[in-house]
């Protein structure tokens, strides 16, 4: 990293620690597969990359990974009702996918004592009731810590051992995150609350959240959190397939309560910062704030770990990424010729009725269909079985595209080489009088 870039990042981090009155703060930037820059401010000693902080809700990303491993092994489906894997809850008719994306209508917190500040209990001890269902399924985004506690129980039931053990053995250790643990272990920061009107601090409690652990239990170092960023950037270490990580990052539930554009995928938050889409998660627990965000287009990530209940600017990681993007933008790989995945005569202009579209080959052996000269429905397609193509994103995600020299067939739509080509199988037929002035 250039010295000027490092100085800019340090200046932003130092200001965030001072203005947020944070007892200690560790920030870092990820690029080229690892942590390329980090800094510590306040009461934290070297090596600052090896001091544990509580991650809070970043733990949900790890929980989601354990669930998606089960899905990829065929042991559950995202459309499975919770009742199939965890009988006896008032949310039994809600699906696994809805719980992962906060669309299940589950209560934001578990019933009873404020779970973040009191010793935890088992699922039975929570005593769930119909009051823990606060919205209809798939009706609206409603962030739910309780939902991720239930997902941890699903993982434990299928694997036959506690979620924390599954997360350790199937996610953390395979990724090399050896300093990520359910309780502080070794060098760890003390959590504090800072008085709102004076520069004094008070120790915050720490405990085992038990059934709610999958929602916010984990502690990690900057080095380990950087490895999770690398995972989200595509180096999955065979813990999940890169395609599944892409699926995690696809927005599902939209959060209308925040400024700008913000959504939730499967265990990750997805938000737009100007023209940049960031994927990651924030976290908070009594005495701690954390953030981890990656820019998948730039191949970069940023993190922040603080031992304070409130005060730290949650936009610090995004600000670090913006600084890096401005100072050292990614130099893209050179364009080189590549074979077309389909015959060239199938590419070029097509018409959906009178609307012009263009089918083109794009990097990665994919096709792209989009409006020509004007906005239109747009999607990329990957090869499917029997010469078909399957939509990856946009309006036609999941739909099947069939190619023919005379017509493209896509979700009952027929694209023709000329507007309403009378020689093509246009639904409804073509008026015999043709185009008239």
Beta-carbon contacts of 314 under 8 Å, excluding residues fewer than 6 positions away, are 282, 289, 291
What is the rounded distance in angstroms from the CA atom of residue 343 to the CA atom of residue 424?
19
pLDDT value of residue 259:
66
What is the rounded distance in angstroms from the CA atom of residue 303 to the CA atom of residue 58?
11
pLDDT digits (tens, 9 = 90+) for 164-204: 999 999 999 999 999 999 999 999 999 999 999 999 999 99
Q: How far apart are the first and last CA of the chain?
A: 64
What number of CA atoms fall less than 13 Å from residue 216's CA on the CB side?
26
Walk along the chain (437 residues) in steps of 10 and give the mean pLDDT of each run: 97 98 98 96 91 98 98 98 98 98 97 93 96 96 97 98 98 98 96 97 96 97 98 97 94 76 92 90 97 96 98 96 96 93 97 95 95 87 94 92 95 95 92 90
pLDDT digits (tens, 9 = 90+) for 344-355: 999 999 999 999
122 contacts 210 by C-beta, under 8 angstroms: yes
- Give how far Cα 181 sits from Cα of 27, 207, 404, 407, Å: 20, 13, 55, 57
- In this structure, what token pair is assigned to residue 152? 């941890």
Let me know how long the chain is: 437
Q: Which residue reads 């694997």 in tokens?
A: 159
Say whether pTM exceeds 0.85. yes
pLDDT value of residue 285:
97
> Which is nearest to 356 in space by CA: 434, 418, 435, 428?
418
- In this structure, what token pair is assigned to residue 104? 């299940």
Q: Render 166-203 in DSSP notation, one character per residue.
A: HHIIIIITTTT-TT-BSS--SSBPPPEEE-SSSS-EEE
What is the rounded distance in angstroms from the CA atom of residue 93 to the CA atom of residue 333?
48
Looking at the DSSP bridge assignments, the partners of residue 53 are 220
What number of CA atoms fall less than 13 Å from residue 70's CA on the CB side?
26
What is the rounded distance in angstroms from the CA atom of residue 379 to the CA atom of residue 357?
11
Strand, helix or coil at 149?
Answer: helix
Strand, helix or coil at 72?
Answer: helix
Sign of CA dihedral 222, 226, 227, 232: positive
Q: Convert 160-176 to b/e letters by CB count within 10 Å (16 or more is b).
A: eebbbebbbebbbeebe
């Amino acid at each position: 990293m250039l010295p000027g870039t490092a100085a800019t990042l340090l200046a932003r981090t130092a200001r965030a620690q001072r203005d947020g009155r944070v007892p200690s703060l560790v920030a870092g930037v990820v690029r080229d597969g690892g942590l390329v820059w980090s800094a510590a401010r306040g009461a934290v000693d070297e090596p600052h990359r090896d001091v544990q902080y509580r991650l809070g809700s970043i733990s949900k990303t790890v929980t989601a990974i354990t669930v998606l491993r089960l899905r990829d092994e065929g042991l559950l489906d995202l459309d499975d009702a919770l009742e199939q894997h965890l009988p006896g809850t008032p949310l039994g008719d809600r699906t696994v996918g809805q719980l992962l994306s906060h669309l299940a209508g589950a209560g934001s917190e578990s019933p009873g004592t404020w779970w973040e500040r009191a010793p935890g209990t088992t699922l039975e001890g929570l005593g769930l009731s119909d009051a823990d269902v606060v919205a209809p399924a798939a009706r609206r985004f409603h962030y739910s810590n309780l939902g991720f506690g239930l997902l941890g129980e699903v993982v434990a039931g299928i694997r036959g051992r506690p979620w924390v053990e599954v997360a350790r053995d199937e996610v953390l250790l395979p990724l090399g995150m050896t300093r990520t643990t359910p309780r502080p272990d070794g060098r760890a920061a003390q959590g504090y609350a800072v008085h709102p009107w004076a520069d004094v601090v008070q120790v915050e409690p720490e405990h085992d959240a038990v059934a709610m652990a999958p929602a916010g239990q984990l502690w990690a170092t900057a080095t380990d959190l950087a490895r999770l960023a690398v995972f989200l950037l595509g180096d999955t270490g065979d813990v999940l397939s890169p395609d599944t990580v892409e699926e995690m990052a696809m927005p599902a539930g939209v959060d209308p309560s925040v400024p700008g554009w913000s959504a939730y995928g499967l265990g990750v938050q997805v938000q737009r910062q100007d023209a940049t889409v960031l994927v990651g998660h924030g976290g908070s627990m009594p005495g701690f704030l954390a953030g981890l965000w990656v820019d998948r287009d730039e191949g970069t990530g940023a993190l922040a770990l603080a031992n304070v209940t409130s005060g730290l600017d949650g936009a610090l990681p995004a600000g670090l990424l913006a600084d890096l993007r401005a100072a050292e933008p990614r130099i893209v790989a050179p364009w080189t010729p590549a074979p077309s995945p389909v015959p060239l005569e199938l590419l070029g202009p097509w018409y959906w009725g009178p609307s012009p579209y263009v089918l083109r080959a794009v990097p990665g052996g994919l096709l792209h269909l989009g409006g020509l000269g004007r906005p239109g429905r747009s999607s990329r397609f990957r090869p499917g079985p029997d010469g078909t193509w399957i939509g990856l994103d946009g309006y036609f995600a999941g739909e099947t595209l069939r190619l023919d020299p005379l017509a493209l067939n896509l979700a009952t739509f027929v694209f023709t080489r000329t507007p309403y080509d009378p020689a093509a199988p246009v639904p409804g037929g073509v008026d015999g009088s043709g185009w008239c002035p």
